[in-house]
Amino acid sequence: MERSLREGIRLFCLKRWDMALAEFLHINSRELPPRETVDLTYYLGLCYTKLGCFDDALAHLEQVVSEGTSPFRVRQCRITLAYIYTMTKRAEMAEFEIDKILKSGYESATVYAIMAYALWSQKKYNRAIELYRKILSVDINNATALNGLGYILIDTGTDIEHGLKLCKKAVAYKPNNAAYLDSLAWACFKKGEANEAKTLFRRALELAPKQTEIRIHQRIALGDNL
C-alpha cells in the first residue's frame, strides 16, 4: 500500500476529512493494484459524505457497490447511500438500498432508523412507527428512535403527550443535538407551551444555524413572537 493511501486512511480515522480527501486525491489510481483501487474509491466516497459533497460521494460509493468485491464494504456503502438519499430527499431510493441490506440478512438499529426516516418522508407513518418501536424494543435508550418516534406521534397528532416524553428523553441523552431540540420545541408548541418552545428553538438554531427546517418550524410555531 502506498504511503499516501495509508496516510489518507490515518487522517480519515482521525476525522480530518478535508485533509484525508486531499491526500487521497493526490493518488494516481492507475498505479494501484485492483484491491487498493477499490479501497481508494471507498474512502473517497466516505470523505465526500462526511464533507457533505453528496453527488461526488454517490458516484464513488455506487462504484464500490457495483464492484461487489467485499460484502462488508458493499453493505457499508449501501447504508451510506441510504443515508445520503434520505438527506437529499430521495426517500424511495433510500428505501431501495435499505431493502437490499435487509434481504441480505443484515439487521441493525442504524439500518432500521434510516428506513424509518425514509418511510416518514413518504408519509408512511404507521410503518415508520413500527420500525422505531422495533428499535426501542431491543434498545430502549436509542436516542434516534426516541426522537423519531416522538416526532411522528407529535406531528401527526397521534399521541402528543407520549411524543413529548420521548423527545424529552432523547434530548436528555443528547442535549446538544439540534434536531432533537427542534423536535422537543415542536412538541412544546403543540402542547401550547410557547415560551419553552421559543427557548428550545433558539438553542437548536445556535447549534445548527443553517438548518432551514428548524427555522421553518420556529416561524410556524412562533410567528411574530420570534
Q: What is the pLDDT of residue 224?
A: 58
- Band of residue 34 on the pLDDT scale cut at 50, 70, 90: confident
Report the predicted TM-score, pTM, of the whole model to 2 decimal places: 0.77
The domain limits of the chain are 142-226
Mean pLDDT across 35-59: 94
Specify the DSSP class assigned to residue 27: S
How many Å apart are CA 155 and CA 145, to the nearest integer? 15
Nine-digit cell at 189? Answer: 408548541
Mean pLDDT across 14-43: 91
Three-state DSSP class for residue 107: coil
- Band of residue 22 on the pLDDT scale cut at 50, 70, 90: very high
Inform me whether the pLDDT recorded for 3 exceeds 60. Answer: no
* CA 131 to each of CA 16, 74, 112, 150, 216: distance values in angstroms, whole numbers, following the listed order: 34, 23, 6, 13, 27
Determine the longest span between alpha carbons in the chain, in angstroms. 63
Mean pLDDT of the chain: 92
How many Å apart are CA 10 and CA 198, to the nearest integer? 43
Tell me how many degrees the CA angle 54-122-98 measures, rounded to the nearest 5. Answer: 55
27-56: b (≥16 Cβ within 10 Å) or e: beeeebeeeebbbbbbbbbbbbbbeeebeb
Class for the domain spanning 142-226: mainly alpha
